[in-house]
């Protein structure tokens, strides 16, 4: 395991422009070791670009990104070796079994892991002989998390991991993310589902137009809003429609 450096992620005034469109406009934050850090924001707010700059997938125009003491721009390969990445759009080789995919990626990191064990961690051991194309949406996301775990990453980046999943699969993935956290990883997660952020994240950065407009724990953010005298439009109920749906259809996974 790599030596522990806290904060594990330091982002300083990161900026990125695409032609005339400013995607990231001076974002700074720190992520502490062992926390689940959420980045929230509408589509196009700059979450994915920020995360991809941290992952070494894109170069920032200016600013600094440091992961576990390594400067991403100066040592992208060193950084890539200690992080796990789930991209927003994931795809894996066809004509390979899941166990072969995990095994291949483990070898790319020169990691010695048992692919079946990794699949076991995400609950896919029983599908080890299936092909990627045969998986359901939730299973695909879990496979991409399994692949991101092959190198025992210091930081795991999950970019909108539950987008497009049904409530059952979403809840199962939440359980998986929490489990990975307790196993010692730091997790950076982007989402535009508020209940997901509230459920999972220790701290949240709200991103809008390429800037962080709020950063705190979910509870503190809600308290700050209430202090301004805010009242929800609807009467707060004890249950949500999500609960109704899960009550009617059960919590069991459908895949």
Interface residues toward another protein, by CB under 8 A: 55-57, 77-78, 80-81, 85, 87, 89-96, 100, 103-105, 107-110, 147
| Shorter beta-carbon distance to another protein: residue 111 or 253 | 111
Compute the least distance from the CB of residue 237 to another protein, in Å.
Answer: 40
Structure tokens at 95: 């004509």
Compute the least distance from the CB of residue 218 to another protein, in Å.
Answer: 28
**C-alpha closest to that of 208 among 46, 61, 48, 49:** 46
Structure tokens at 222: 């809600």
Compute the least distance from the CB of residue 86 to another protein, in Å.
Answer: 9
| Shorter beta-carbon distance to another protein: residue 55 or 196 | 55
| Shorter beta-carbon distance to another protein: residue 91 or 226 | 91
DSSP state of 11: E
Phi/psi at 235 (nearest 5 deg)?
A: -65, 135
| Shorter beta-carbon distance to another protein: residue 103 or 152 | 103
Compute the least distance from the CB of residue 140 to another protein, in Å.
Answer: 12
Helix runs in the chain, H state only: 47-54, 76-82, 98-108, 115-121, 137-148, 167-182, 194-200, 218-227, 241-249
């Amino acid at each position: 395991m790599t030596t522990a450096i806290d904060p594990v992620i330091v982002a300083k005034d990161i900026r990125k422009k695409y032609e005339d469109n400013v995607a990231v406009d001076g974002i700074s934050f720190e992520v502490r070791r062992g926390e689940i850090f959420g980045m929230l924001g509408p589509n196009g707010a700059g979450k994915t670009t920020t995360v991809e700059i941290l992952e070494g997938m894109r170069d920032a125009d200016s600013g600094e990104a440091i992961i576990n003491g390594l400067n991403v721009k100066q040592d992208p390969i060193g950084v890539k070796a200690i992080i796990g990445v789930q991209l927003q759009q994931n795809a894996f080789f066809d004509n390979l079994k899941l166990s072969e995919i995990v095994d291949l990626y483990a070898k790319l990191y020169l990691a010695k892991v048992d692919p079946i064990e990794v699949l076991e961690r995400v609950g896919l051991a029983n599908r080890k002989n299936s092909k990627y194309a045969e998986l359901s949406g939730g299973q695909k996301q879990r496979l991409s998390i399994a692949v991101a775990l092959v190198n025992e990453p210091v930081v795991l980046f999950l970019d909108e991991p539950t987008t497009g999943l049904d409530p059952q699969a979403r809840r199962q993935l939440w359980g998986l993310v929490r489990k990975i956290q307790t196993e010692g990883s730091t997790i950076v997660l982007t989402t535009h589902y508020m209940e997901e952020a509230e459920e999972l994240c220790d701290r949240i950065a709200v991103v809008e137009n390429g800037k962080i407009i709020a950063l705190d724990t979910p509870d503190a953010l809600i308290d700050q809003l209430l202090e301004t005298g805010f009242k929800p439009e609807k009467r707060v109920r004890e249950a949500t429609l999500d609960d109704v749906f899960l009550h009617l259809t059960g919590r069991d996974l459908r895949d």
